[in-house]
Structure 1
Amino acid sequence: MLVPPDILDRGTSADQTVREGASISLTCAATGSPHPQITWRREHSKPIIISDGVQVSSLEGPVLNISRVNRQHAGAYLCIASNGVPPTVSKRIMLTVEFPPVIVIRNQLVGASLGTDLVLECETEAFPKPVSYWSRDNGEIVPIGGGLEPQKIAGSFRSVLRLPIRRVTSSDYGTYKCVSKNSLGDTEGTIKLYPMQSPAMENRNG
């Protein structure tokens, strides 16, 4: 007797949340006659990254092992059961990967002449979504509003913190810290803003 495949809730992984660096096994249990073949794929045809960065488009077997999970592994995995008797069935398992914030600052030294406008930038990557802000070297948190508006550009895990400074005054020079925190940790990066002569002044002196 031919029986189409069915994926069992019992023995099949639910959605998972893991910390980066942990290992994980996703399992998929199915019944049917003949006994179904299990295939794993990722949503949107993304490659499955198995050990040592090897990438495959699909994987056969009831268990998907990922050792040392990283943020590239996050997303939806599909376990597909087929045995030649239609219909083929699938279940979607979401893998959420958590990691502490990482900060990237492209320009750590920024020169500006008095009266000019500029924007300081700091990129942060984290999950869960971090709380990020700017502070000065005296520990004072840069207020939002007025001449200073931190902006976030939400990517997948990434946001860019922008700090516009309009008409630089001498009190704006110094060190700025970009701070980012989530439940797994916190980190900071620094940018130093230093005075530069404006080209007009230099021509007059020359």
Structure 2
Amino acid sequence: MTLISLFFSAFVVLLCYLLGSIPSGYLAGKWLSNIDLRELGSGSTGATNVLRHIGKGPALAVFLIDVGKGTLAVVLAKMFLQGDGWEVLGGISALIGHIWPIWLNWQGGKAVATGLGVLLGLSWPVGLSCFVVFLAVFFATKIVSLSSIVAAISLPILMLISFRFTHYSHAYMAVCLMAMSFVLWRHRSNFNRLVKGTEPRIGKF
């Protein structure tokens, strides 16, 4: 790899980070209700906190934008760079941008929606299957955090199953494990409430 191509690759990865760092939830709070979501509820700028403090419509819009950020980051990496490793690096950069956005003093969302977008860009069957797991747990419990945690844990398993039908990719498995770790770490404050039975359910907050 030449020096120019290395700089270009780094530039694309930086673009993926900046794309992931677009603070859709924070902007929804400011524009629609003049609130800072980082100071309310979970402190997250993700769709769940938007739902609790702004409403269903804005929450859906934020969710779709956050999913789109992850997918577009992978698409950009696929278009301009070559190899599974670069695609994964683009997706991880978007995840990092979503969790630690430069615009919000490094305080962003919990990586669930953007992680789903990354998966849809890398392997849509795995991403879709993971979303089905999330929905199944959510409809059974109405607890977003539990649904996110179970879906994250199922992710590497779903990717392993997919490898029976496609080529094995160390890079894809690495991003699954990293995305799972990000989601579990970002939900660490939810674990105690889940154990105590005090985690709020949608419709009861």
Higher strand share: 1
The structure with more radius of gyration? 1
Same fold (TM > 0.5): no
TM-score bracket for the superposition, by shorter chain length: under 0.3
TM-score, length-normalised on structure 1? 0.25
Higher helix share: 2
TM-score, length-normalised on structure 2? 0.25
